Every structure is written in C-alpha cells, then in structure tokens.
Amino acid sequence: MILSDYIHNKEHWLSRLDGRVKLLVTLIMLVMVLSYQGLAFHLLVTFLCLFLCWQMKIPGRVFLLRFSEPVFIVLVILFLKIFFSGGEGIFSTDIMGIRITAYREGLAEGISIAGRIIAAISVMAVMVFSTPFTELLAALSWLRVPKAFIEILMYAYRYIFVLIEDAGVIYDAQKNRLGYAAFNRRFSSFGVLVGSLILKAFEHSQNITVAMVQRGYDGNIPLFDQKPFRSSEVFVSLLFISMMGVVWTI
Amino acid sequence: MTRLLLKNISYTYADGTEAISGIDLSVAKGEFAGILGYNGSGKTTLLKIMDGLIKDFQGSVFLDGMDIRNLAPREIYKKMGIVFQNPNDQLFAPTVFEDVAFGPMNMGFTEKEIIERVNNALRAVEMGGFAKKSIHHLSFGERKRICIAGLLSMGHEILLLDEPTAGLDPLGEYQMMNLLTRLNEDKEVTIVMATHSVDLVPVFLDRLYILSKGKIARGGAPESVFTAPEDMTQVKLRMPHIAELIYRLKHEDHLPFDKIPLTIGEARREMVEVFKRSYDE
Amino acid sequence: MMNSTIKITFVALIFCSALLSADTVYAMHISEGILPFSWATLWFVMALPFVAYGLYSLNKRSREDLSFKPLVGLMAAVVFIISCMPIPVPFAGTCSHPCGTGISGILVGPAISVVITAVALLIQAILLAHGGLSTLGADIVSMGVMGSFAGYFTFRILRSVRVNIAVAGFMAGLFADWATYLMTSVELASGIKGEAAFLPLFWKVLIAFIPTQLPLGILEGAITAGMVVLLYKKRPDLLIKMRVIKPGEVTMQKQGMTALIVSFFIIGALLSAAIPAGAAKWTGVDEAVIEKVAKEHGREASEPLINMEQGDLPLFLFLVAGALGGFAAGYYWRVLITEKSPRVNGGKEVITKRK
C-alpha cells in the first residue's frame, strides 16, 4: 500500500501555496466538475491537472496506482451504461446465443460520467501531491471543521503508520505459526489480528494520554492561529477560478 | 539542594502484587542518577510515582520540598516530565514541530516564544532542522530525541527517563548518553533514568540505586554499588564486563590491582600500572 | 424472454466480477466524481446530522475520560487499516475488503462510529484515492451510518436475548457489511441512472456486488466474531469500560444456535406475512376434488364431528389448551433451552484489572 503522503514535491511552486487556498480551489473545482453536464470542461480540467502532476515529477507507479481504481470503475460504468440502458441501438452482436446491443444514449451518458470521474480524481491528485497532510489539517481547521474532528484526524493519521507496523509484526508472527495455512484458520487468524490491533490501539491511547497530560493536555488540542493570506495567492486563485468558470458556462 | 525526595514509598498493583516497598531515595539538583533493576523490578512504576502519574501509593514524594500530593498537575509538569520507553507512546502529533510545541502551547506562550522554545529544544537534542519532518519518517533514536525535546521545550529542569537506550544500536546508546550528559552538565538538568545497561551507567552516572524485588538493594556511587559479581547476581544483574574481568584477574589470578575499575578508561590505567609494576619488579 | 434476461444477467455478473477482480479495486467506496453534484450534496446533507451528533457524543464522553479522544482516533486508524486489507473472497476469485464499521459500532456505539468512519474515509480519500471528497457524504451514509447502526443494533438485540457473544459479533459484522452494500447500491444507482428508471439499475448494481459481497459479509462476520472473542478473553475490562458488556455478564453460553434458528423462523414468519393479502384464497384439494367427485356420485360429505368453523366447545377447549401450553413454554423457556452455567469461577466472572 503506497500512501501518497510520501510523494510530495517540495520544490514545485504549488507546494509553496497556502494550503487553505489549495483546498478552497480544489473544492470549487470539484463542484464545477460535478455540476458540468458536457465533456469539454472535464477534458480541460483533466489535461491541466495531469500536466501539473507531470510537472511535479510524481513517480509513474504512484500515479498509476492512484488512478487504477477509478479507471476500472469508469470501465464498469461504461459497460453498464452502454449495454444496459435503452434508446437507439448503435450495434448489436450475439455472444453465446445472447443478443448484446450497444445504445447511443448509454454511450453518451457513460462517457459523460467517465469524464466527470477522471476530472474529479485529477483535481484531487493535484491537491494531494502538492500539500502535506498536516497543512490540510490546518486548512480544515480554518474552514471551521469542528476541533474534535481535527483532533481525531490527527491521532488517526499519526497512528496509521504505527499500527500498520504493529499489524505487520502480528501478521508475520501468525504466518510463521501457520496461522494462514488452512482456509478456515485464515479468517480466525485475521479476526485475532484485528482484535490485537484494537488492543494495541487501546494501549497506545492510554499511554499517549498520560504523555499529553503531563504536557498540559486538558481534553482539547491547542491550535495555532492562522497566518493571513498572501494577496498575490488570493488574486491568482480568484483569476483562475473565474477563467474556469467562464469555460464551465460554455 | 534536594530536588526529589522519596520517603518510604510502597505501591501494590490492583491484583495484589507488591510492586515496590519501603523505597527511600533522594536526587540532588544537577545530579545524574540511575535506577537499575531487572525487568519487572519496579523501575517504571517508581518513575511514574516520582512524576505524579501514579497517585495511590503509600509514602511521600517531595518535589523541591513540596509534597506532590498537594501540587496541581500543572505545577508538577512545569518542572518535571517523564520520557517513556516507547517513543510511539509519546509522540502523537504528525510533525516534529507540532509535537515539541504542544507543551509550550498549553503553557500559554505566544507564538514567537513557542517557535523559539521549539528551536532551542531541537538544537539541544541535536535535531535542529527537523522541525517540519513527519514523525513517522524519523528513526527510533531520532524519535527518542524528539521526546526529550518535547519536555525541554517546556523548560523542564528534571527529566525522568524510562530506559532511554532501549532499542538503540551500540553507537546510538553512546550518543544518547552523551546527549543526556551534555544536558546535565551544560544546562544543569537533573536526570533520573531507569535502565539495566550496566556497562553504560558507570561512565555517565553520578549515583545509582539498584532495585530488586521492589526494594532498594544497593545505592550510592557506582564504585560502591558494583563490588563483586556475586553481589550483582543476587539482584539479577551483573557487573560491567570490564569490571568483572579485572575482578577475576585480581581475585582468581591474584594480579595486583588496587581497585576494580568500572570503565574501559579506568581499566586501561589500572592495567598499565600493574604491567609497569610487574616490569619494574 | 425470461431465459434471455437470466442469461444476460449471468454474463453481466461474470463480466463485472472479472473487471472487479484486480486487487486494487475496492468496491466499497464510491469513487470520486461518480455522483453528480445534486446527489453528492444530498448525501452530505444526510450525513451531517449523524456526524454532528457523533461529535457531540464524543465530546461528552471525553469530558469523563481524557483518553477517549485518543482512543477514538486510534480506532479510526484501525478501521482505516482494516478497510484497506484485501481479503481473497471465495467463489468470486477476487479480492475485496471488510468495512470495519460493524466492529467500531460495537465498541464505541453507532454515533461515534460514524465519526470514526468519516475520519477513516477522509484519510483514505486523500492518501489512497479510495472514495473521494465529493462522495464522502455518500460513503459516510453507507459505511458509517448504515454499517455502524446495523452492526450495533444487531449486536445489542442479540445480546439482549443472551445470544453467545461470538454469534452476536458474527451477525453484527455480517449485517453491517450487507447494510453498507445495500446502501451503496442505492447511492450508485440513483447517482448514475441519468434519465433511466431507478429500480432496474439498482438491481443490476446489487447483483453485480453479490458475488463478492455475499461471501465477504460472512467473512466480515467471522472477523468481527474473532475480534470480540479475543477482546473478551484477553481484556474483558476493556469491553466493560467501553460498555460492550456489563460487569459479571455471561457471554459464552451456548444459546447461540437456538437463537439463530428462532431468528430465522421469526424472519420467515415476517416475510410470509409480507406476501400481498390480495393473493387469491385457493380451495384445498379435499373440497375441490374429493368432495366434488363424491357429491357427483351421490355421497355428500357429512358435518365434521368437531365443527371448527362455528366456534363450539371443543374449539374453545383447543384454545385454552393452546394458551396454557404457550404460557408453560414461555415460563420454562430457559429450562427448555438448557442454559449452561458459565465456566469460570462458579458463575462469577473474574475481571482482572490491569494496572
């Protein structure tokens, strides 16, 4: 499992942008992508985002992994739409005695949905590859996401890596003792692994609470005040959004 | 000046097992003290009692002359803090800066002061430049240093460390001990560490207490603690390797050593003396 | 006509399963961009009250226990990891992954489990591109709300009738998983149907999920059962602290199978009661054939010795006997089910509290 957080090009100009600006622009772009009915805007957004990802020198493997699932889902949806919706048939064929018909309306709808999915994924990819997770946390906090939610996000993000390590150790220990050899043992062992992870989570939570209490924790994590925006960033972002807005209306 | 004074400390676990009993010890200002003991001897429990994390013990703990039972947690934790054995149990923030800044933020410092404290603390543990790093990108030894930095940024004058060298490679162990010695000597931080690294403690520590079966079996300067292998076996520990070698050379091979050295440096000097004397004779 | 529909569905099934067989495909999350803006917004609006209430419950509980927020955060990390673990699904020849929300629903309750799910989904969307920001609302509703509530209530209901904790955990995991997929099918079908009708597409999506999700639900049930049993054996105090079981509560008695069978009967009865009342009343073969033929040959049927249709004394006696029997069965229910006393310490659970 590659976690995209590792892939973050610090040299690129996008990385130096304020995380709040990037998050806001991403959200606005997502709204535009989701609400657009045609294909032109989706193609433009996809092309732009892919270009930025290429500029950021994102490794090909990471890039492909991120896009592999959406691409498969696009193919499934295209299949369902083309062959299972109604309307004017484009072509028909027989497979194993079954008549399969491709429909024009289904094709159009499928392509529209496919464009929407790929464009949305591309927008997210640009944000994720240019913004460390902690900056996103700060941006979410600025957007008035409840503090409790931010706090839980922070703990979760921090301890994913610790618990993955723990899970790996437990899994290897089970495997070494034939925990996954027989089919019926496999799921029992997996259940034990999950239970053990929860126990580890509980132990870690007790220990970090003690550590935090001795550093003054009173139930709420303090957060820094946000710095003011750079006017140049705000101006350029507004200009970009306006330009995309114009294209959206076409 | 005594900073920490423990009088007749006893503690029993919830299942009835007696963890420690009748412990008396004191830690002076600027002292670098160690609590040695085998696994399960009660070292961690004792440190937690010192830090005020365990409250239902018998006896008294005095911090700068004040009973910690009468002190609010905030008052204790402005002066003293504990570094746990597993740094993952202590580092909860995503980045180094956020974690080290956590304490000062809770203390109410301004942003400028917090940044200064964080940078000073990171420099003190030789991790300046790591502020923006993610915690999960750090090595085990680096994480341990960040744990210490997290307490130093609060201005802690007393550090309690639970096996700070556990899990480190041999070079890492020496680097950690050197770091702690520098903090102790340059910044006058009082340090109490729980450990069972008998080879390291004579090199760096001023005073030792050996815990065995929940009691202090021996206490004092390292040379008064590491007297004979049999004495150490009784408390399920051993002498430093070099000390044991010289001890055997002296008592079994009857070589004329004047004292039992505890470090390689001391042993070298002793051996050179013995060889010179033998050569002269 | 019927045959070709079945054949088409079968071919679609195989094709979808083949497409979904790449082990990078995790079909639970609705991917970014699938849902149009209106539907994405609707699901967000539906999810928000649950998340808000979950945060309210979280803040309330963490005021009593400072370690609760870190615990919830780490539970979110566990749910994240569980829902990323690919499990080979038997018979489908593919991999899928558990939801994990049944587990969190049991441990922290459904409200806080919604928050856990929201956090896990957000991190997955950002780090792994599983799901998305725009589909976060929909995924929270399916996984967090449906999964957590289904898992939690299944567990609670079964535990309230003293079902074995392993069986209760199994059923909770099973229903949490299936509830999630049911809701996901609703969301997908409504989102991508365009001008087409909803139901046909819904059935197609549901059927496409069946090869993986039917067995996966059973696997998730097994995993959930394994988890609760392990926690009960190793740290019953943790389950008590999290209010999953009560102190002294017996969990391992062997009523499980009986309760399951009874449950199936109840479900079966409910299903049969749901059959439309307009179904024609069919006469039995006694009347339709035997009596008719006998009448044609001059041998009409005489009155029955006990006329059940006219409410007479024998009927009343039958009713009384039934009532008495039912009362006796209910009163001596536990004896009939043969309750086994718990194996530990003469009936009292010994909880060892760790320091």
Indicate the number of domains in chain A: 2
SS3 A89: strand
Q: Please give the residue that has the higher pLDDT: either C321 or B83.
A: B83
Q: Among B133-142, B189-198, C304-313, whose mean pLDDT is lowest?
A: C304-313
pLDDT in tens, C167-187: 999 999 999 999 999 999 999
Q: What pLDDT is recorded for position C170? A: 93
Q: Please give the residue that has the higher pLDDT: either C328 or A54.
A: A54
**C21 located within any domain:** no
Q: Name every residue whose Cβ is closer than 8 Å to that of residue C64 and which is 6 or more positions away in sequence.
A: none
Same domain, A197 and A74: no
HSE at residue B169, side-chain half, CA atoms within 13 A, is: 4
pLDDT in tens, B103-113: 998 888 999 99
pLDDT in tens, C262-306: 555 544 444 444 444 434 445 555 655 566 666 666 666 666 655
Same domain, B64 and B164: yes
Q: Which residue of A has its CA nearest to B102?
A: A215
pLDDT-based confidence at C327, cuts 50/70/90? low
Place of tokens 């065995």: B212
**C85 located within any domain:** yes
Six-digit token string for A41:
């805007």
**B149 located within any domain:** yes
Q: Among B75-79, B258-262, C207-211, whose mean pLDDT is lowest?
A: C207-211
Same domain, A161 and A59: no
Provide the residue type at C24 as one letter.
T
Q: Please give the residue that has the higher pLDDT: either C258 or B145.
A: B145
pLDDT at C259 over 70: no
- Across chain B, mean pLDDT equals 90
Please report all neighbours of B, defined by 3+ CB atom pairs within 8 A: A, C
Domain that holds residue C122: 31-267
Q: What pLDDT is recorded for position C306? A: 53
Same domain, B197 and B67: yes
Same domain, A17 and A89: yes
On whether the CB atoms of residues B114 and A222 are closer than 8 A, the answer is no
Q: What pLDDT is recorded for position C2? A: 47
Q: What pLDDT is recorded for position A105? A: 82
Same domain, B84 and B151: yes
Six-digit token string for B148:
């210490």
- Identify all chain A residues contacting C134, using CB atoms and an 8 Å cutoff: 30, 34, 120
pLDDT at C18 over 60: no
Same domain, A32 and A113: yes
Q: Please give the residue that has the higher pLDDT: either A137 or C282.
A: A137
Indicate the number of domains in chain C: 1
Same domain, B19 and B58: yes
Same domain, B151 and B165: no
Q: What pLDDT is recorded for position A193? A: 86
**C216 located within any domain:** yes
Q: What pLDDT is recorded for position A3? A: 57
Residue of A137, A213, A222 lying closest to B105 (CB–CB): A222
**A222 located within any domain:** no
Separation in Å, CA of A59 to nearest CA in chain C: 15
Same domain, B10 and B138: no
Same domain, B68 and B96: no
Q: What pLDDT is recorded for position C144? A: 94
Q: What pLDDT is recorded for position C212? A: 78
Same domain, B144 and B280: no
**A10 located within any domain:** yes
Q: What pLDDT is recorded for position A1? A: 47
Across residues A106-117, what is the average pLDDT? 88
Across residues A30-59, what is the average pLDDT? 91
Neighbour-count burial for C43-78, b at 16+ CB within 10 Å, e otherwise: bbeebeebbeebbebbbebbeeeebbbbbbbbbbbb
SS (H, E, C) C232-287: HHHCHHHHHHCCCCCCCCCCCCCCHHHHHHHHHHHHHHHHHHCCCCCCCCCCCHHH
pLDDT-based confidence at B143, cuts 50/70/90? very high
Is A169 near chain C, with CB under 8 Å?
A: no
> Domain containing C52 — which CATH number?
1.10.1760.20
**C149 located within any domain:** yes
Q: Among A181-195, C24-38, C224-238, whose mean pLDDT is lowest?
A: C24-38
**A47 located within any domain:** yes
User: Cβ separation of B107 and A216 shorter than 8 Å?
Assistant: yes
**B274 located within any domain:** yes
**B212 located within any domain:** yes
Please report all neighbours of C, defined by 3+ CB atom pairs within 8 A: A, B
Across residues C252-270, what is the average pLDDT? 51
Same domain, A231 and A110: yes
Same domain, A88 and A136: yes
User: Cβ separation of C355 and B92 shorter than 8 Å?
Assistant: no
Same domain, B89 and B144: yes
Same domain, B22 and B134: no
Across residues C40-49, what is the average pLDDT? 95
Nearest-5° angle of CA C31, CA C36, CA C38? 130
Same domain, A112 and A202: no
Same domain, A133 and A19: yes
Same domain, A66 and A97: yes
The count of other CB atoms within 10 Å of the CB of residue C327 is: 10
Dist CA A85 CA A105 (whole Å): 8
Same domain, A163 and A95: no
User: Cβ separation of A69 and C25 shorter than 8 Å?
Assistant: yes
On whether the CB atoms of residues C224 and C173 are closer than 8 A, the answer is yes
Domain that holds residue B214: 1-72+158-172+183-226
Across residues B143-152, what is the average pLDDT? 93
Of chain A residues 183-222, which have a CB less than 8 A from chain B?
Answer: 204, 207-208, 210-218, 221-222
User: Cβ separation of A216 and B103 shorter than 8 Å?
Assistant: yes
Residue of A158, A214, A218 lying closest to B92 (CB–CB): A158
Q: Quick one: residue A57, left, alpha or beta (phi over 0 = left, psi -120 to 50 = alpha)?
A: left
- ipTM of the modeled complex: 0.89
User: Cβ separation of B92 and A211 shorter than 8 Å?
Assistant: yes
Q: What pLDDT is recorded for position C17? A: 43
Across residues B11-37, what is the average pLDDT? 90
Same domain, A63 and A181: no
Same domain, B146 and B163: no
pLDDT in tens, B197-249: 888 888 899 899 999 888 898 889 988 888 888 888 888 888 899 999 999 99
**C151 located within any domain:** yes
Q: What pLDDT is recorded for position A67? A: 86
Same domain, A48 and A122: yes
Q: What is the rounded end-to-end Cα distance, in angstroms, of chain C? A: 70
Indicate the number of domains in chain B: 3
Top residue of C126, C130, C193 to mutate, by most chain A CBs within 10 Å, is C126
**B15 located within any domain:** yes
Domain that holds residue A205: 146-213
User: Cβ separation of B15 and C70 shorter than 8 Å?
Assistant: no
Across residues A99-112, what is the average pLDDT? 83
Q: What pLDDT is recorded for position A224? A: 76
Residue of B15, B19, B92 lying closest to C352 (CB–CB): B15
Q: What pLDDT is recorded for position C131? A: 84
Is A108 near chain C, with CB under 8 Å?
A: no
Q: What pLDDT is recorded for position C145? A: 96
Same domain, B141 and B34: no
Closest Cα partner for C184 from A187, A33, A73, A106? A73
